[in-house]
Amino acid sequence: MSDKDILVRAENVSKKFCRDLKKSLWYGVKDSAKDLVGGASISDSTSVSLREGEFWANQGITFEVKRGQCLGLIGGNGAGKTTLLKMLNGLIKPDVGVIQMRGRVGALIALGAGFNPVLTGRENVYVNGSILGMSKRETSNRLDEIVEFAGLRDFIDTPVKNYSSGMQVRLGFSTAVILMHPDVLILDEVLAVGDVGFRNRCYKKISSLMSNAAVILVSHSMENISQCANSVGVMQKGRFELFGEVSVGVEAYNRAVAQDHQGCSVSSKDAKSLQYPVSSAEVILESSVVEYGGELKVRVLLNTQDVFAGAEMFFTAFDVSQRPVMCWSSTRNGIEFELLEGTQEILFSVEPLHLHDGVYSWSLVIGRRKTIDRPVSISAGGNFEVLSGARPLNSAPYLPLAKCFKVSPLSV
Ligand SMILES: Nc1ncnc2c1ncn2[C@@H]1O[C@H](COP(=O)(O)OP(=O)(O)OP(=O)(O)O)[C@@H](O)[C@H]1O
């Protein structure tokens, strides 16, 4: 691959923001005035140093993405991923460093990015086409494909302000990919609001686009990152903590999350995770680090508003690619139990843990047994790590046993 195939290049890029709105506005006025008078240079001391209230949202970012490559950007909330994408797309400019983009850039960074809410979907596609310098006929030639891919045939003449967030993303993605034929495609987490079917179509489209383009993808789903990316940048506090192989980056990220979250709690406000009669739940692993062959002790604190008979519990572990590698189920272990009314503690241990070295994510689901129509009552998740005794991992998920299982009421 020659230098011509490098479509994205960032060299020592840094961006600072100010936490205080008033100061931020004042600094903005001062910087603009300075720009007008002489132009602030990269070595300008106000550019490279922080003033009161400022912080680095991105610092010293250097990387390249070539044609045919997909870079995944991962990191916790506020790590600086979106800020970097905005600089790559030219929405904001770096305070320090240089960004070079080659070819046409298609980006989906915010919901409905670039769409005029009062115009219909169709009108927005034409507006986007004319911004790209396309004739009406050229846009018309691609409109059918855009509408088809977005699955919005019945809504293409509806104003975009009446679209759901998923519909906005559908049109945004289709326009960015099919209308623009981008050389560089930049995608933020927004795809997450699309339904599973549309997301799968998007990932297929991204794979086919990659033969001729470079893709930069931000996602909190390690499954999506593992599926699409062939290199990864792990961001923390605006810097690349690690840059390189996907599996190494995902594992490092999961390890950091595991240290942060040994347990997980959900309250009744989290309607997706919790259903009547459970009003709050906390799931705690006794230790987030377990030896190969050891046991994983799990403590669940539940508050239920009613007796919940015929309950069933699943504890599933997933590897870095989000493939299930172990599934423990109370029913398979011959355990019948019911949730009591009020506060209670459920203790159980999963063993033996035949998982090789690495970081795993887990999910815990309690549902009503055999009722598929109301399957989930609580669902929670976090991470744990297995140490020592690396052994080959069976490709099929395995079903461990329970050493003990106990439900006891707790007085509050
Ligand atoms: N316009 C702005 N003014 C001030 N601070 C900002 C601005 N935009 C972003 N920030 C801050 O910069 C930091 C990085 O934000 P950014 O949106 O890049 O994080 P992120 O990694 O994309 O997070 P998430 O995963 O939650 O989307 C955060 O502390 C955020 O509050």
CATH number at residue 382: 2.70.50.60
- For 3, counting Cβ atoms within 10 Å of its Cβ (0-12 exposed, 13-18 middle, 19+ buried), the class is exposed
Q: Write down the H helix ranges in 186-291.
A: 196-209, 222-228, 246-260
CA distance 361 to 374: 25
Same domain, 207 and 323: no
CA distance 179 to 333: 54
CA 82 to ligand 1 centroid distance, Å = 7
Cβ 42 vs Cβ 97: under 8 Å? yes
In the chain, the number of structural domains is 2
Same domain, 234 and 355: no
Structural domain including 75 reads 3-258
pLDDT along the chain (412 residues), means of 10: 84 93 87 74 61 93 95 92 94 93 88 81 92 88 94 94 90 90 88 78 86 91 83 95 89 72 54 66 83 87 84 83 81 85 90 83 77 52 73 61 78 62
Best substitution site from 23, 81, 222, 234 to test ligand 1's pocket, by max atoms within 8 Å of Cβ?
Answer: 81
Q: Return the number of other C-beta atoms located less than 10 Å from residue 164's C-beta.
A: 11
Same domain, 101 and 244: yes
Same domain, 128 and 272: no
CATH number at residue 14: 3.40.50.300
Same domain, 37 and 183: yes
Same domain, 13 and 130: yes
With H, G, I as helix, E, B as strand and everything else as coil, classify residue 147.
helix
Same domain, 152 and 276: no
With H, G, I as helix, E, B as strand and everything else as coil, classify residue 302.
strand
CA 26 to ligand 1 centroid distance, Å = 20
Best substitution site from 27, 82, 187 to test ligand 1's pocket, by max atoms within 8 Å of Cβ?
Answer: 82
Single residue among 258, 274, 303 that ends a domain in this structure: 258
Ligand 1 pocket, Cβ-based, cut-off 6 angstroms: 17, 57, 75, 77-83
Same domain, 254 and 385: no
Question: What confidence score (pLDDT) does residue 161 get?
Answer: 92
Single residue among 233, 258, 283 that ends a domain in this structure: 258
Single residue among 193, 225, 258 that ends a domain in this structure: 258
Tokens of 136: 């009406």
Strand partners, 301: 282, 345
Residue 335's identity, in one-letter code, is: I
CA distance 134 to 237: 40
